[in-house]
Copies of this chain bind each other. A is one copy, B any other.
Amino acid sequence: MSKGNLLYAQSGGVTAVINTTACAVIETCRKHRIRAYAARNGILGALREELIDLSREDRSAIAALRHTPGGAFGSCRFKLKSLEIDRARYERLIAVLRAHDIRYFLYNGGNDSADTSLKISAIGKELGYPLQVIGVPKTIDNDLPVTDSCPGFGSVAKYTAVSIGEASLDVASMCESSTKVFVMEVMGRHAGWIAAAAGLAATGKDAAPHIILFPEVPFDEAAFLARVEATVKRVGYCSIVVSEGLKNAEGKFLAEAGSTDAFGHTQLGGVGPLIAQLVKSRLGYKYHWAVPDYLQRSARHLASKSDVEQAYAVGKAAVEYALAGKNAEMPVIKRISTTPFKWKIEAVPITRIANIEKKLPKNFITRDGFNITAAARSYFEPLIRGEDRPPYDATTGLPKYAQLKRVLVKKKLPRYSIADK
């Protein structure tokens, strides 16, 4: 097998550990003396021939990627359509790869990227260009099938569980004379993986969070309000986690169901403030709400060690798979045992992954729809286990992140615009 060059691209929403995967990819390429490039801003850069020359980056900067959140080379929300519709773009992509003798393409993303990987692999074959495409899993949404979990998820899970736990201790101390209801909105538009993981904080009787509102459970206002009131009466306060994807009985997102709140004010926020104001207007309790938004998926300072290890492992395996001649496959995480937590990486054809969404199992949600079960806890707990912290600067008190040069290689092809077809 002739050794060509390798292109690594990040895709879709970034995570606290996607750069950990990038670090693994680059370090493994260096070990095997494979020349590696990173696409600037994901597939957009690949199309534009904006390739970052990774050989220009210091070893220490690459090592620091391991603990740097965000997407170091840039990511994008841009999906290539079918081979028929977007044929010119696929051909352009192959032309770029050909121009730089790139024989390995590693695409680090979620469902959409897995689908794109398949198409790129197909067009390469069709055009007679020897290319191996390896998908690399990543998504805080944890919705890829086959793999036990998705790199990026364990860290957002740890962040949400720790955060609701901390904030609830705050609320608990003040509840007699101040805030009685606290609502934290978490990400997860289509599935309640993150909301469910926040439930890990509730390790004892009446521990917070007391109520989780899942996208999987249509919002039942009366049952919810009754539960809030009972909790405040019994515990003194009520701590609530709500998924941004919460829907009403008609299947409409609550955050979009109405543009005005209970008082007729324009609804500025998401579903978190909406739920908090509902409680206030119906039950009269003083409330606070939090929407950590991007903070949750970029909180590298609170990353899960399991997650970091898995993020590194999939990156390393992806390069090894490429060098071993695999194509259209993806390294996934296979859980061998929960206690003790053991896992391994194995190769799976991307056809088994692309366009399939893994739903939160029904048996992860308690019958009343407001909490997680022991089965859920057993699945989630190992994923948030352990800490893997960035180093901090002793003077500024801030994490020391990777400082990259991001030097682009000289273009060999005519100028190209994404608008070109």
A137 neighbours in B (Cβ, 8 Å): none
A177 in contact with B77 given A381-B396, A397-B385 (CB within 8 Å)? yes
Q: Say yes or no: A295 contacts B167, CB within 8 Å.
A: yes
Q: Say yes or no: B178 contacts A298, CB within 8 Å.
A: no
A302 neighbours in B (Cβ, 8 Å): 301-302
Q: Say yes or no: A397 contacts B386, CB within 8 Å.
A: yes
Complex A-B, nearest 10 residue pairs according to Cβ-Cβ distance, in ascending order: A70-B169, A71-B173, A290-B293, A384-B397, A268-B273, A170-B298, A166-B298, A385-B397, A76-B177, A167-B294
Q: Say yes or no: B165 contacts A399, CB within 8 Å.
A: yes
A contact residues vs B (CB 8 Å cutoff): 10, 13-14, 16, 41, 44, 68-78, 158, 161-163, 165-174, 176-179, 182, 184, 200-201, 203, 259, 261-262, 267-270, 273-274, 277, 286, 288-295, 297-302, 304, 306, 381, 384-387, 389, 392, 394-399, 401
A394 neighbours in B (Cβ, 8 Å): 385-386
Q: Say yes or no: A398 contacts B262, CB within 8 Å.
A: no
Q: Say yes or no: A69 contacts B396, CB within 8 Å.
A: no
Q: Which of B165, B262, B300, B395 contacts A166 (CB 8 A)?
A: B300
Residue among A68, A162, A288 with the most chain B CB within 10 A?
A162
A392 in contact with B387 given A68-B169, A289-B269 (CB within 8 Å)? yes
Q: Say yes or no: B178 contacts A76, CB within 8 Å.
A: yes
Q: Say yes or no: A290 contacts B288, CB within 8 Å.
A: no
- In the bound complex, CA of A62 to CA of B75 (Å): 47
Q: Say yes or no: B392 contacts A170, CB within 8 Å.
A: no
Q: Say yes or no: B289 contacts A10, CB within 8 Å.
A: no
A300 neighbours in B (Cβ, 8 Å): 166
Q: Which of B68, B161, B168, B396 contacts A398 (CB 8 A)?
A: B161
Q: Say yes or no: B301 contacts A294, CB within 8 Å.
A: no
Q: Say yes or no: A294 contacts B77, CB within 8 Å.
A: no
Q: Say yes or no: A71 contacts B174, CB within 8 Å.
A: yes
A179 neighbours in B (Cβ, 8 Å): 294
Distance of A393 from chain B, by nearest CB (Å): 9
Distance of A184 from chain B, by nearest CB (Å): 8
A293 in contact with B289 given A76-B176, A398-B162 (CB within 8 Å)? yes
Distance of A88 from chain B, by nearest CB (Å): 19
A174 in contact with B385 given A268-B270, A270-B269, A288-B293 (CB within 8 Å)? no
